Structure 1
Amino acid sequence: MDFSAAAQRSGFTIENHQTIGSTNDRALDYLRTGGASRHFVIADEQTGGRGRLGRVWVSKPGNLYASLALIDPAPQAHAFQLGFVAAMVVYDTLRAAGLDGAHLSLKWPNDVLVEGKKISGILLEGLSLPGGHQGVVIGCGINIAHHPSDTLYPVTDLKSAGVITSPFEVFGHFSASFEKWLAVYRGGEGFGDIREHWLSFAHGVGGLIVVKDRKEKKVGIFAGLDREGRLLLDQNGQIEPVIVGDVFFRDS
C-alpha cells in the first residue's frame, strides 16, 4: 500500500519497507548520512525490533511499525519530553481509529493503555550530527491485529479491543496526529501544554506505585509530573523526581 500520500498531507517524507531489521536503525542511518528532518521509516515487519531498555519488540506483519527522524526537535537536555509528545500522538491515533477514550489512559513515561493493557511501544534514540545539530528518532509500534505474549505487562491490540482496521488506515491518523502535536510542542516551548494534556489522561495519579530500574525499587504515591516531565514520587512526604524506570500500579 502507498503510505506516501498520508505522510505528504502532514508535511513528512516517507520510505516504506516490507521487511527491515529495525525502523529505528534505518532512521538513524538516514540522519547519519545527511537525510532531512521529518522523515518516516515504516515497515510491515521488523526482524530486529526493540523497545525501551533493550527489550525485544515482536514485530510480525499486521501492526504499525514506524520511526520518525527529526533534526533539532528539542533542546538536547529535554529530548526525553518527545516521549510525551509521542504518547499524545498514539492516544489521538487510537481515538481516531475508533477506540472509546473512556478505555484509554497513559502510563509514565510514554505507554498508552487500553483498559490497563499496553497497546503500543515508544522508543527514543538520538545521535550527534555535523554542525552541532542533534538528530532524534521516535520509534512507535502500535498493536493492530495481534500482540505478543510473555510480556512484562499485560498487552492488547485494536482487534482484541473490538476495532477492525489496518496499518494503512492507522498511519493516516498517526501522521496527522504527529503534525498536530509537534506543532503544540514547538521545539520545547509548548511542553507545558503537552504536560497538561498528558496528565489529564494519566493512569494512577494519586495512587500507590512501584518504580523499578535496573538497580533498585521504590514505592510511593504518584504525585504528578514536574515542569520538565519527571515523575514525582511521594515517599512519606518526601518528593523525589524520577527520570527513568518502569512503573507498576498497586492498590493503596
Structure 2
Amino acid sequence: MEFKLGRASAENHYRLRTFETVGSTNAEAMAAARAGDPGACWFVSAHQTQGRGRRGSHWVTPVGNMAASLLVVVPNHPATAATLGFVAGLALDEALRSVAPDLMLRIGLDGVEGVGPAGRRDRLRLKWPNDVLLDGAKLAGILLEAEPIPGDRLAVVIGIGVNVVAAPEGLPYPATALAELGVGIDAARVFEALSDAWASVARVWNDGRGFKAVRRLWLDRAAGLGETVAVRIGEQVFSGVFETIDDEGRLVIRSPDGLVRTIAAGEVHFGTVATSRQ
C-alpha cells in the first residue's frame, strides 16, 4: 500500500515516513524526536504490531487498518499541547466526511431515528477526550504522548488509529470498521485526507491561540452533549449531565444535586450505562 501526503499537507511542508509493518508508529515518532527531528513529520503504516491505546491498553492494527502518528514540536506548555487531541479529532472527522460522505447522515422514517427535517442525524460524533464514533461505536482512537526536549520545547506525538478493514473483538464497548459498513476505501485514502485536514485545523489551532475556535467546532460534533454521562476515574465513578468542555479541554459535568465538576481525564460512558452508574 502506498501512502502519500495530501496536496495541502505537502504545501505546508509536512514530511512523511512510511512502514510496511511497524511495532508502533508512536514509538517511531518519539524516537525521531529524541534524535533531533524538528517535527511536522507523519509516521504511518497499514500494519502495526505493538500499538498502544489509552491507559496502556493494546491497540490492535491488523493489516489494512491505519496507524498514523504525527510528531509536532511546540513550546513546553503541557496544558496547551494537550489540546492537540481535539485538533486530531476534528481533523479525522473532516477526513472521514470527505472520503465517505454517505456516512455523515442517517435518514429516519418520519424523524423517528434522527433530528431535524426528514429525520436526519449525524452519524459521526467525537467522544471526549479522543475517540471518533460512528453510530455510537468506536471507529477510531487517538493517543497523545509528550516528552520535553532541549530548548524548552515539547515533543508531542499524536497517534491516530482507524478501523478501516476490521474492528477489534472482545472489547468492553462496541467497535466498528469502515469495511463493515460497505465503505470501499483503503487506509492510504484515509491518511491522505487526514494529512490535509490536519493542516487545515492546525492553522485554526495556531499553537494554541485558536483553541477557542477549535473548542467551538469540537462541541458542534460532540457525542453526548447535554446528556447524562458517567465518568470513571480510577475506582470512582461520577455521573451528571455533560455540559461542555472548558478552555483547557476538560470535561464539565453537572451532577443531579447541581454540583459542577471539571474532569481532566477519565473513561466516559453514555446512555443506559451512564444512568445505571448514578
1:83 aligned residue: 85
Q: How does 1:164-243 map to 2 (within 5 A)?
A: 164-235=184-255, 236-243=257-264
Which letter maps to 2:46?
A: D
> Between Structure 1 and Structure 2, how many residues are aligned?
252
1:72 aligned residue: 74
Identity, % of aligned positions? 36
Partners in 2 of 1:206 and 1:146 — Cα distance? 31
Larger Rg computed on CA atoms: 2
Partners in 1 of 2:269 and 2:76 — Cα distance? 29
Instruction: Please say if residues 10 and 175 of structure 1, whose CA atoms lie closer than 8 Å, have aligned partners that are also in contact.
Output: no
| Runs (5+) with no aligned partner, structure 1 | none
Partners in 2 of 1:208 and 1:181 — Cα distance? 29
Partners in 2 of 1:54 and 1:196 — Cα distance? 30
2:117 aligned residue: none
Secondary structure of the corresponding residue to residue 71 of structure 2: strand
Return closer, same or farther for 1:5/1:224 CA change in 2, 3 Å cut-off.
closer
TM-score, scaled to structure 1: 0.95
Does 2:32 correspond to 1:30?
yes
2:55 aligned residue: 53
Return closer, same or farther for 1:198/1:166 CA change in 2, 3 Å cut-off.
same
- CA root-mean-square deviation: 1.5
Which letter maps to 1:3?
A: F
Which letter maps to 1:248?
A: H
Tell me how far 1:74 sits from its aligned partner.
Answer: 7.4
Tell me how far 1:93 sits from its aligned partner.
Answer: 1.1
2:104 aligned residue: 100
1:248 aligned residue: 269
Instruction: Please say if residues 78 and 228 of structure 1, whose CA atoms lie closer than 8 Å, have aligned partners that are also in contact.
Output: yes
2:161 aligned residue: 141
| Runs (5+) with no aligned partner, structure 2 | 106-121
Over residues 24-50 of structure 1, what are the superposed CA-to-partner deviations in whole Å (9 max), with x where a residue is unaligned? 000000000001210011112111101
Instruction: Please say if residues 76 and 148 of structure 2, whose CA atoms lie closer than 8 Å, have aligned partners that are also in contact.
Output: no
Secondary structure of the corresponding residue to residue 42 of structure 1: strand
Partners in 2 of 1:181 and 1:5 — Cα distance? 16
TM-score, scaled to structure 2: 0.87
Which letter maps to 2:27?
A: D
Instruction: Please say if residues 75 and 153 of structure 2, whose CA atoms lie closer than 8 Å, have aligned partners that are also in contact.
Output: no
